[in-house]
């Protein structure tokens, strides 16, 4: 049964998730002013699923149960599903201007589904059957799942088994008849605190020496031995200021990252989907990365739509909207943003069925999509900052604009002085001008940078990770043959 946004938020209150921030445990993390905006983002994925206007994008018919499920827990059954995924992500980016955090779980579902099928085919294991039952459970209860892949990695020059501290990659430390015990951590975990469960995967290809690190499993977020340390974001404590509003930029929504620690956590057999089959770790990593790189052609585009709108508003409020260079910059921003969307749609349209039956994207085009995402959002933000002007980062605080302290010879207050000298075009009030500038600051430099600018660089793998995959999949030898044939070269 599909939950509403309010029901989702209430479901989090039932969890006993251990959360730490600023060196202390956060007891009521659901209502914490720094955390709550990220919860609101996830809630939007539930709210839109119940809106008749968006039901076609936000929901799908499960191939496992025949029931209607949230698309975030769906296995892609066609290229149409893949395209709708990207369109759904763009929609949510437009609605939140931030990271809505459920993409990693959706991408993990599809990667694990096909990988477990092929693992079972080789080894006669039952991982695929277990995973199907687990996904039915997720769909039935409309859960949010954190797809947990990235390990701390320690010394990057060494493999998991060669690390001085073996916990730098999450690993199996004990095997029992009824399950396994794991130890380690997952870093940069998007929406981890807001998730009902974690779906853990290996982070790199493995050798046989690393087999204890080749593990995939599901576990409740509040399981014994799991705790999370909330990631610091620029300008985050503004949310804790009394009466904070204008200075927040994006008051209602925000992203979230955390370090998730697994301190000898027991995983029962029915929730284990890979256990020392090291030769399938690389397949799982590449498939998840491919799906997640496709995702960025949707979510970052939706946020980009809002940034372009904010830049255009800033130009209006500054009285500069008729300048030819402003119009040209907005055109360039739109061109870059739609190019990202083209990549997301293209790798979806060129998708194909896996052996398990769900659909994969075109891997080469997905990596090209993410490679562009490591560049274009930076230029989009640069142009937005250019249009906005320096006041975006030098304006006084919201409290100054509201201050009643008298400072002028004629009795003017600090607030009156600020409102006078920071007024722009008559089409907007000073506060409206400040609001749009603070929003651009938030996206470019503040807490929303996690969900847009900085995440565009490192989310779903660093730029070099995509270049490696592009090199593998670019098929240069075949291109040489094309040139030889046309040029008349026989050898």
Polymer length of the chain? 491
Among candidate residues 277, 398, 441, 455, the one labeled active-site is 455
196 is catalytic: no
Among candidate residues 41, 216, 275, 299, the one labeled active-site is 299
Among candidate residues 47, 257, 286, 385, the one labeled active-site is 257
Among candidate residues 277, 292, 341, 354, the one labeled active-site is 292
Among candidate residues 8, 46, 74, 103, the one labeled active-site is 103
Kindly tell me the burial class for residue 481, based on how many C-beta atoms sit within 10 Å of its own C-beta (0-12, 13-18, 19 or more): exposed
Among candidate residues 213, 296, 317, 452, the one labeled active-site is 296
Alpha carbon distance 338, 327 (integer Å): 17
Alpha carbon distance 394, 237 (integer Å): 18
Residues 6 or more apart whose Cβ sits within 8 Å of residue 190 = 99, 101, 103, 104, 146, 255, 256, 257, 459
Q: Which two tokens stand for residue 263?
A: 């301190």
Alpha carbon distance 485, 491 (integer Å): 10
Among candidate residues 8, 74, 99, 374, the one labeled active-site is 99
296 is catalytic: yes
| Closest by CA position to 79, among listed 373, 366, 358, 289 | 358
Please check whether residue 177 is in contact with residue 215, taking contact to mean a CB–CB distance below 8 angstroms.
no
In the sheet that holds 179-186, the strands lie side by side as: 24-25, 19-21, 226-230, 258-268, 179-186, 171-175
Among candidate residues 96, 116, 144, 190, the one labeled active-site is 190
A 10 A CB-CB count for 364 gives 17
C-alpha torsion sign, points 155, 160, 164, 165: positive
Q: Which two tokens stand for residue 112?
A: 């694990």
257 is catalytic: yes
Q: Which residues are known to be catalytic?
A: 99, 103, 190, 257, 292, 296, 299, 455
């Amino acid at each position: 049964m599909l939950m509403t946004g309010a029901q989702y938020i209430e479901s989090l209150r039932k969890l006993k998730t251990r959360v730490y921030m600023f060196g202390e445990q956060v007891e009521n993390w659901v209502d914490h002013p720094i955390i709550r905006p990220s919860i609101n983002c996830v809630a939007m994925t539930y709210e839109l699923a119940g809106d008749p206007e968006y039901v076609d994008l936000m929901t799908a018919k499960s191939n496992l149960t025949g029931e209607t499920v949230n698309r975030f827990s769906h296995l892609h059954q066609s290229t149409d599903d893949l395209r709708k995924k990207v369109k759904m992500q763009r929609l949510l980016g437009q609605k939140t201007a931030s990271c809505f955090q459920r993409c990693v779980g959706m991408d993990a579902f599809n990667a694990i589904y096909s990988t477990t099928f092929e693992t079972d085919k080789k080894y006669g294991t039952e991982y695929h059957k277990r995973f199907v039952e687990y996904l039915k459970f997720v769909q039935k209860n409309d859960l949010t799942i954190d797809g947990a892949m990235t390990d701390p990695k320690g010394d990057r020059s060494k493999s998991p088994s060669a690390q001085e501290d073996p916990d730098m990659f999450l690993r199996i430390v004990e095997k029992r008849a009824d399950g396994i015990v794991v130890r380690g951590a997952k870093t940069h975990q998007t929406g981890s605190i807001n998730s009902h469960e974690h779906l853990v995967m290996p982070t790199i290809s493995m050798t046989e020496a690393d087999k204890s690190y080749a593990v995939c499993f599901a576990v409740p977020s509040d399981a014994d031995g799991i705790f999370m340390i909330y990631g610091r974001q620029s300008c985050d404590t503004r949310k804790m200021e009394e009466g904070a509003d204008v200075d927040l930029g994006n008051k209602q929504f925000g992203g979230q990252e955390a370090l998730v620690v697994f301190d000898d956590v027991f995983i029962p057999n029915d929730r284990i989907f890979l256990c020392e089959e090291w030769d399938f770790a690389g397949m799982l990593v590449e498939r998840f990365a491919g799906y997640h790189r496709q995702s960025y052609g949707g979510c970052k585009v939706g946020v980009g739509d809002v940034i372009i709108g904010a830049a255009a508003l800033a130009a209006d409020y500054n009285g500069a909207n008729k300048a030819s260079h402003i119009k040209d910059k907005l055109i360039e921003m739109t061109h870059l943003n739609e190019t990202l969307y083209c990549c997301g749609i293209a790798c979806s349209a060129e998708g194909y069925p896996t052996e398990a039956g769900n659909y994969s994207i075109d891997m080469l085009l997905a990596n090209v999509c993410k490679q562009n995402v490591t560049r274009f959002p930076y230029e989009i933000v640069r142009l937005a900052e250019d249009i906005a002007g320096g006041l975006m980062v030098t304006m006084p605080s919201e409290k100054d604009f509201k201050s009643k302290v008298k400072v002028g010879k004629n009795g003017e207050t600090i607030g009156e002085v600020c409102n006078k000298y920071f007024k722009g075009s008559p089409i907007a009030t000073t506060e409206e001008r400040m609001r749009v500038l603070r929003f651009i600051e938030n996206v470019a430099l503040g807490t929303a940078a996690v969900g847009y600018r900085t995440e565009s660089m490192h989310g779903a793998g660093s730029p070099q990770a995509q270049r490696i995959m592009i090199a593998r999949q670019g098929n240069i030898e075949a291109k040489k043959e094309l040139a030889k044939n046309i040029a008349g070269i026989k050898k």
